[in-house]
Amino acid sequence: MSERGLEERIESLREHGSSDEEIVKLLIAAGYHESDIRTALKAEESEEKAGEVISLPAPAGEAVKSLAISAPQKKFLPGFVALFSNALALYKKNALALTEVYLPPVIALALAAIFSGAAHSTWPVLRFVWGVLAGLGYTVSFFLATIAVLAMAMILNSEGMSSEEAYWRSLKKTGSYYWLLLLEFLITLGGLVMGVLPAIIFGVWFSLAIFLFVDQEQRGINALLRSKEYVTGYWWGAFGRTLLMAFIVLIIEAIIGGVAGIFGQSVNYIVSLALQLVTVPFSIAFSYVIYRALKEMKPELAGEPVKGNKHFFIFSAWLGVVSPLIILSLAAIIAARYGRLPL
């Protein structure tokens, strides 16, 4: 009997659900040799396995390939040492301009402290004059310090920008810049009314807003929400690295201040002011390298519209506006109940 006929009978019996041993018995009864039957069965099994080997890997491989393409790999924020090194290199490159920018508010603060000390005069008129000058000095120092922070962000974000140019550009943007600062303050204050933890969360979310104001020209609440988008997914990393940087600065200031305090309070104050000329610009440079790292990790955000729940943060801002009324009302209730304010 022909080999082709044997194969066709085997296929037919398999389609009817017959096992190999049943097929062998049936075909022997039909006149086929057992050796020919088993050889045909083995050949058919080899063809089926070969077909599986050839057909299955290609689709599986394509599936794995497509999954590898479609599934984004988790990116990690650079470690503290890498960020510190980058910040140090950036600070060294712009040290002169950064120092020049932050020098005016430090000088104004020093003059305010001198006027404040002179206000202890025994003459009432002199006390009043020196007190007014001290208050004016502190106000000017605060204004110059906020402008200096914006100017330093511009210097860090622009290659070779001078301190004079950075100051003039900052002064031209004072309106929108102070609006951003006010919104950030009110929203964070509203978060503080909700609890300490929301205020901390908001503070880390909004920590990059000034760089978005400078680099991507985001304004108001859009700058705050875009900062939140960059920090999202890396909140703990940004918080931990910033906290460690602040801790190191505090340790350095405590050590140097302790040594300077040996020579008197005046020397300690002068050294403290001089130290601020280094620690404040460097801290801003450290925050900037965090922003730059997150910007490189999320390049798609630069071309997308700002997302986020604006209504919630607007509510938080209004909560910050009315928070003094809430505090005064609670104080009045406590005073009415217990006859005195809590100490």
Q: What is the pLDDT of residues 254-289, one digit of tens each?
A: 898 888 888 888 788 888 888 999 999 999 999 999
Q: What digits encode the pLDDT tens for the residues 309-329? A: 888 999 999 998 988 887 777
- 114 and 23 share one domain: no
Structural domain count, the chain: 2
Residues 195, 258: one domain? yes
pLDDT of residue 170: 92
Mean pLDDT of the chain: 83
pLDDT at res. 223: 93
Shared domain check, 26 and 106: no
Among 5-14, 186-195, 299-308, the range of highest mean pLDDT: 186-195
Closest among 169, 139, 138 to 153, alpha carbons compared? 169
The pLDDT assigned to 53 comes to 44
Q: Would the pLDDT of 342 be above 90? A: no
Q: How confident is the model at residue 103 (pLDDT cuts 50, 70, 90)?
A: very high
pLDDT-based confidence at residue 187 (cuts at 50, 70, 90): very high
Both 23 and 150 in a single domain? no
Q: How far is CA 29 from the centre of its chain?
A: 80
Same domain, yes or no: 119 and 33: no
341 vs 74, residue with greater confidence? 74
Q: Is residue 96 part of a domain?
A: yes
Determine the pLDDT at residue 64.
46
pLDDT tens sequence across 56-100: 444 455 554 544 455 556 678 899 999 999 999 999 999 999 999
Count of Cβ atoms closer than 10 Å to residue 223 Cβ: 27
Provide the residue range defining the domain that includes 130. 81-337
Q: Is residue 152 part of a domain?
A: yes
Structure confidence by residue, pLDDT tens digits, 201-244: 999 999 999 999 999 989 999 999 999 999 999 999 999 999 99
Shared domain check, 28 and 88: no
Task: Mark whether 175 and 270 lie in a shared domain.
Answer: yes
Q: Are residues 109 and 223 in the same domain?
A: yes
Same domain, 86 and 183: yes
Residue 20's pLDDT is 76
41 pLDDT more than 80: no
Predicted pLDDT of residue 246:
94
Residues 34-38: contacts with CB within 8 Å, 24+ apart?
Answer: 36/3, 36/6, 37/6, 37/10
| Assigned domain for 75 exists | no
Note the pTM of the prediction, 2 decimals: 0.72
Is 271 part of a structural domain of the chain? yes
Q: Which residues, other chains included, contact 317 with Cβ-Cβ below 8 Å and sequence gap of 6+? A: 183, 186, 187, 190
Nearest CA-CA partner of 181 in 68, 24, 317: 317
Query: pLDDT at position 129, please?
Result: 85
CA distance 328 to 335: 10
